[in-house]
Amino acid sequence: MFKNLLFITLLFAFTAVKAQNNYEIQVYGSETVETGRTMLELHSNYTVNGSKTIEDGVLPTNHVFHETIEITHGWTPWFETGFYFFNTLGSDGRSAYVGSHIRPRVAAPEAWHWPVGVSVSFEFGFQKAAYDANTTSLEIRPIIDKKWGGLYVSLNPTVDKSFVGPESNQGFIFSPNIKVSYDISKVVALGPEYYGSTGPFFHYYSSTNQQHQIFLATDLNFSPNWEFNAGYGWGLTNSTDKSIFKVILGKRF
């Protein structure tokens, strides 16, 4: 019964498929946190070259730090729940607690022996209008990944829906994320990450209003209880912050 329900849920997510904001810059893998364990992560990034004026009541992002605390607990081998606490540090009154999200996620159990890893998360929460004009939103993130030897690929064909704000009258906004990495040693993996936002289905934004970012990122796999990801990103359109440095540090308990 559960297998059928999960299949329907995943199918809905793929058919329902705005860019991931710069508080949590990450392409997800399909695995969930192990049963009874908790992952604590700190997502840190600094916008080297971002927006410099207030737009739609949203404060500029240039020369600002974003610090996000993520706490994820594994309840079963196929179900976890994550909690986010977004914070920003910057001059001119830009230091503040920004908002919080909750993110339940289900995965296809390993016992099914699928040829690829598959999971889907549903992230819901709020953020202050001074930092995001769309103050209440839902993100649906299907996750498909696979590793061939040293090569790893993860696809996150994400969609976002705003319930309060200027985009609340729009449909689901397509925000694809892609990660490719290759193990250059037992510890170090390198590769690109892509983050985009093309607009509502069949009513896509013009090319200049779309958001596209490319990161060159590294993952350090020095312990199964630790997570480390870092990278430098470039924005490819006028609507995207031009350059960002990010670090993710996580520990399993």
- In angstroms, the CA 182 to CA 190 distance is 6
Phi-psi region of 113 (alpha: psi -120 to 50; beta: other; left: phi over 0): left
* pLDDT greater than 60 at residue 16: no
What integer pLDDT is reported at residue 56 of this predicted model?
A: 84
* pLDDT greater than 70 at residue 185: yes
Q: Average pLDDT of 223-249?
A: 95
Q: Confirm if 177 and 27 have CB atoms less than 8 A apart.
A: yes
> Of 11-25, 123-137, 218-232, where does mean pLDDT reach its minimum?
11-25
Percent of the chain whose pLDDT exceeds 90: 83
What integer pLDDT is reported at residue 207 of this predicted model?
A: 85
* pLDDT greater than 60 at residue 15: no
> Of 56-60, 117-121, 179-183, where does mean pLDDT reach its minimum?
56-60
What integer pLDDT is reported at residue 239 of this predicted model?
A: 87
Ramachandran angles phi, psi of 178, nearest 5°: -140, 140
What integer pLDDT is reported at residue 18 of this predicted model?
A: 39
Evaluated on CA atoms 48, 250, 86, 126, the torsion sign reads: positive
Beta pairing, strands 226-235 & 136-148: unpaired
* pLDDT greater than 80 at residue 136: yes
pLDDT-derived band at 147, boundaries 50, 70, 90:
very high
* pLDDT greater than 50 at residue 213: yes
What integer pLDDT is reported at residue 2 of this predicted model?
A: 43
- In angstroms, the CA 178 to CA 196 distance is 9
What integer pLDDT is reported at residue 13 of this predicted model?
A: 37
Residue 134 identity:
N
CA neighbor of 166 nearest in space, from 22, 56, 54, 58? 56
